[in-house]
A and B are shown apart, each in its own frame.
Chain A
């Protein structure tokens, strides 16, 4: 297995796709975070007006709600590790290099296992890079005034990392299932940029902003993973900083979490653990389907 993983790393590093996608991912993550957080005044006021902050008597400056933009920027940028994973097998099928890859591996399942491990590592590399770029974007965007607290940042970064890894794996499965690089890129982009966000919006609209089916779909669950982390940590910070009330009413905290999750791009999503579990399930499902399809494929 180690030999195959080494070969996969060499495959990636001897072509330019990895850094081509990475550079764009960094620009998107950094740019998006910077733009959002510099335009943050409007949203900040809204949060300041919310019942929870009013009654808790919290000064916004104490709260690291830039985390919402961090989460959102990471969400958007996950498209790139998803595409990177999508091309892992699809481009080998497209360029027919899969023939030699199959001939030099003990069997197809081991090759796919090695690819999965390699791309999980690369998903994590993308995740770290994207999180750092998004953080930099926020530092620049807010002029350093509203930085994210260390704990909050760490948990959001961890969620972003997991999200990137799972998107990569999901993309890999979809690519193996479809088999053509162009088809894979189109399907992943159309879902990631159009169908996913739109269906989240529509379904959440019908559900009156509550958690719903959208949160159970891959895009919604993935957004929920980072969005809920941001929302939960924000709520926790607010509770900790609450000066006005010793115990905040549960429904108020919940409503605030929903608002924050929405702001972080997690439309209609469930809580952190549920979102993580659902998205993990989707990633595994597509990866497994990809394995089954690849094992059955005749390479002619």
Chain B
């Protein structure tokens, strides 16, 4: 029997498709009560990892478990984990309600659960329409309804915002936060940090199939250094004054601007006043997660050939 913890654990997970290494030596855990973002550029191995967690793809090495067990040992897997995957199929001729009734039977939940989940995702009015005529957003909602049939402890979503309108995204955000607040687990992948930034507490960033960052989003934000950009009347005078205040990391540019790291606009303004330097412009740049995310995952396609070349040269 599974341990009922709602924890998703990935340990030294690897997957090769032929000679292509899709995921290599990936490890992280997703704790209940939180929304974990699973981020990386397209082709980083996110989908493959999620599908290994769900038992759809067999790992080449390592393990992926939910509640301490691999998916095919969970017994009643749909009551433990629900998922919304890209490329998930519906029979085009089957109505939304019939689609849900098929899987309600497989899971062993009563048919009234079908109407509950239809209501929950806002598809009640479309219940008797064929899935083949659904828009992408409606398909996403139907996929979520299917995932929720078994009232699972954990939800795994692969790029769920794809195809959703802004209203749908906002709805999903609230839904996932509430779901996690009830002590359940949410793992949601995206290639855009901004898309999930307001939803997630924890983040796993991967690139090249390897973990680049794993921890609290707040810690990542703190790790990003704040900077102040200032346009003074006298570049040199202000630089000297800042140095005197122990602010040594200063960049000068040709337009007469200074970029000062690890400080605030207010602090720079006070120093300039004391030094008698006039300020024509002052701008504080907050932690730019997107930029950091880009740095962490940067060069997935640029550096790889170079590394291969170097390795080749060493032989």
A residues less than 8 Å from B98 (CB atoms)? 10, 14
- Contact among A97, A107, A108 with B91 in the assembled complex (CB-CB below 8 Å): A97
Q: Give the contact-size bracket for chain B.
A: 35 or more
Contact pick for B90, options A97, A102, A105, A296, CB 8 Å: A97
Residue B51 is within 8 A (CB to CB) of chain A in the complex: yes
CB-based contact B88/A105 at 8 Å: no
Distance between Cα atoms of A3 and B89 in the complex (Å):
21
Q: Is A99 an interface residue (CB 8 A)?
A: yes
Q: Is the CB of A96 within 8 A of B106?
A: no
* B-contact bits for A56-75, CB 8 A (1 contact / 0 none): 00000000000000000000
- Which of A96, A107, A296 is close to B88, meaning CB atoms less than 8 Å apart? A96
Per-position binary interface string of chain A over residues 273-300, scored 1 when its CB falls under 8 Å from any chain B CB and 0 otherwise? 0000000000000000000000010111
Contact B56 A97 (CB under 8 A): no
A3 touching B105 by the CB < 8 A rule?
A: yes
On whether A101 and B106 interact (CB within 8 A), knowing A14-B94, A107-B72, A299-B51, the answer reads yes
Instruction: Given A15-B93, A106-B75, check contact A100 B88 (CB 8 Å).
Output: yes
Q: Is B83 an interface residue (CB 8 A)?
A: yes
B277 at the A/B interface (Cβ < 8 Å)?
no
Nearest Cβ distance between residue B258 and chain A, in whole angstroms?
51
B106 adjacent to A105 (CB under 8 Å):
yes
Contact yes or no, A6 B94, CB < 8 A: no
Chain B residues contacting A105 (CB-CB under 8 Å) are: 77, 106
CA of A108 to CA of B48, assembled, Å: 19
A15 touches B94 (CB 8 A): yes
Residue from B47, B78, B108 within 8 A of A103 (CB atoms): B78
Q: Is B57 an interface residue (CB 8 A)?
A: yes
B77 near A11 with CB under 8 A, answer: no
Q: Are B72 and A108 in contact (CB under 8 A)?
A: yes
Q: Using A15-B93, A15-B94, A104-B77 as known contacts, say yes or no to A10 and B105 having CB atoms under 8 A apart.
A: yes
Q: Which residues from B are CB-within-8-Å of A7? A: 102-103, 105-106
A16's contact among B72, B83, B93, by CB below 8 Å, is which? B93
Are A15 and B91 neighbours in the complex by a CB distance under 8 Å?
A: yes
Question: Dominant SS at the A interface?
Answer: helix
Contact of B76 with A106 in the complex, beta carbons under 8 Å: yes
Residues of B within 8 A of A107 (CB): 72-73
A10–B17 CA distance with the chains assembled, in angstroms:
35
The reply to whether B77 and A103 form a contact with Cβ atoms under 8 Å apart is: yes
Contact A106 B77 (CB under 8 A): yes
Contact assessment for B57 and A300 in the assembled complex, using a CB-CB cutoff below 8 Å: yes
Residues from chain B with Cβ under 8 Å of A253 in the complex: none
In chain A between 1 and 37, which residues have their CB closer than 8 angstroms to a CB of chain B? 3-4, 6-7, 10-11, 14-16
A99-B89, A300-B51 known; A104-B103 Cβ under 8 A: yes
A98, CB-defined interface residue at 8 Å: yes
* Cα A4 to Cα B93 with chains together (Å): 21
- Give residues of chain B (94-119) contacting chain A, Cβ–Cβ below 8 Å: 94-95, 98-99, 101-103, 105-108
A123 to chain B, nearest CB (A): 21
Q: Which residues of B contact A (CB under 8 A)?
A: 17, 47-48, 51, 54-58, 71-78, 81, 83, 85, 87-95, 98-99, 101-103, 105-108, 146, 149-150
A-B contact pairs, 12 of them (CB 8 A): A4-B106, A6-B105, A10-B105, A14-B94, A15-B91, A97-B90, A99-B88, A105-B77, A105-B106, A107-B72, A298-B57, A299-B56
* With A3-B105, A15-B93, A104-B106 already in contact, 8 other A-B pairs whose C-beta atoms are closer than 8 Å: A15-B94, A95-B90, A99-B87, A99-B88, A101-B103, A103-B77, A104-B78, A300-B56
